[in-house]
A = this chain, B = another copy of it.
Amino acid sequence: MTTGLLPEGFHDRLPPVADAAARLERRVLASAYAHGYERVDPPLAEYVDALAGRLKAGSAHNAVRFVDPVSQRTLAIRPDITAQVGRIAATRMAHHPRPVRLSYAGPVLKLSASQLHPERAARQIGVELIGLDSVAAAREVVTVAIEALDAAGVPGVSIDFTLPDLIDTLAGDTLSPDRLALLRERLDAKDAGGVAEIAPQYLPLIEAAGPFDRAMARLREHTGDALTSRLDGLAAIAGAVQGKVAMTLDPTERHGFEYQSWIGFSLYAQGARDAIGRGGSYTILRGDGQEEPAIGFSLYADTLVDCDFGSDARRRLFVPLGSDPARAARLRNEGWVTVAALEDSDSPEAQLCTHVLEDGEPRAV
């Protein structure tokens, strides 16, 4: 019966899932807040050029657009909040000392779905550290991500690191832009034959994927001195959460890292069908032509609610007609959810209540 009620990629969240999702989001943001990340709340839509031009290598090609009858300019519904936070940091908070720590949560809308994100109306929760993309900055952001997921009770979290611009760094000067793009694609697809055709020396990068320590050792072995400082940095970042979560490394993974620069990571959890979040370093374009480094992560609320949180028992107390309202108020203060009867025909069963107020006391149904 629900088929056709909403367009593909859109969905309603109902009780009790919507409450669980709100609780999760609250805990994630409270955890980030304790690390100094303060909330920003940009609007649902803004000038399309303001969104599209803000992140180096970012774009707004997947945004719903419309002509604003007031300004006669094209507006875009945000497909992503990171670019909006970049705009705020680069304009209204341009004179705020760096680094700036910001957090956000809200719905985003995409014109079409991708395999990576089948949802078109999704919810994004995130944290951005603007003004730095150093190892220390990355350590902090990765720590906040893992602590926030832990505070939210997300089970079986793991992290997969990547080095989004690794192949550009290694091969940038030796290949034409076309060949480089093709090499990137083939590394992404783990197409060993294809990679060998272009640059066989990078074949070991495909093999250097897996459990973090083993993959790091292979990568160090095969890349020699060229990457020593970068790999030392990666090791230091991973060290911040080592032993707390399972860690892997997939150095050439670029899926989902459209605008990230030197460091990226994906977050996974038990029971979630896909990554529950992604993060990494990127570059914000300021209005004055300057660039600014930044690092952050986003969580995908729609994937997160798939996780296996166990079941939170609902305790609802049915308050029959004629009960003392002051007694019900005191019980709410003690943490009860009270559901008042409004008609003779109301019943605890119909209202999904676990308890009934009898002689002023809650009794299990």
Contact = CB atoms under 8 A, between A and B. Distances in A.
A327 interface: no
A32 to B, nearest CB: 10
Interface in A56-109: 64-66, 68-71, 73, 75, 77, 87-88, 91-93, 97-99, 101-102, 106-107, 109
B69 A66 contact: no
B43 A342 contact: no
Contacts of A340: 35-36, 140
Contacts of A179: none
Contact of A2 (B36, B50, B91, B102): B91
Interface in A260-294: none
B77 A46 contact: no
Interface in A1-28: 1-2, 5-16, 18-19, 21-22, 26
Contact of A337 (B36, B66, B97): B36
Contact of A71 (B7, B38, B65): B7
Most buried by B among A13, A112, A342: A342
Interface stretch (A129-137, A181-189, A208-216, A230-238): A129-137
Given A5-B92, A99-B342, A107 B106 contact: yes
A14 B93 contact: yes
Contact of A332 (B6, B34, B68): B34
A79 to B, nearest CB: 11
Contacts of A101: 339
Interface in A220-262: none
Most buried by B among A14, A43, A73: A43
B5 A44 contact: no
A41 B38 CA distance: 24
A42 interface: yes
A158 interface: no
Contacts of A113: 70
A88 B13 CA distance: 10
A33 interface: yes
A47 interface: yes
A138 to B, nearest CB: 10
A326 interface: no
Nearest to A119: B43
A166 interface: no
Contacts of A50: 5-6
Contact of A38 (B12, B19, B109, B332): B19
A190 interface: no
B47 A7 contact: yes
Contacts of A34: 332, 336-338
A342 B46 contact: no
A169 interface: no
Given A7-B70, A88-B14, A342-B132, A33 B19 contact: yes
B342 A134 contact: yes
Given A10-B45, A10-B46, A69-B111, 19 more contacts: A5-B50, A5-B92, A6-B46, A7-B45, A12-B43, A12-B88, A13-B41, A18-B38, A19-B38, A22-B39, A26-B26, A34-B332, A35-B337, A43-B121, A70-B112, A70-B120, A99-B342, A132-B342, A132-B343
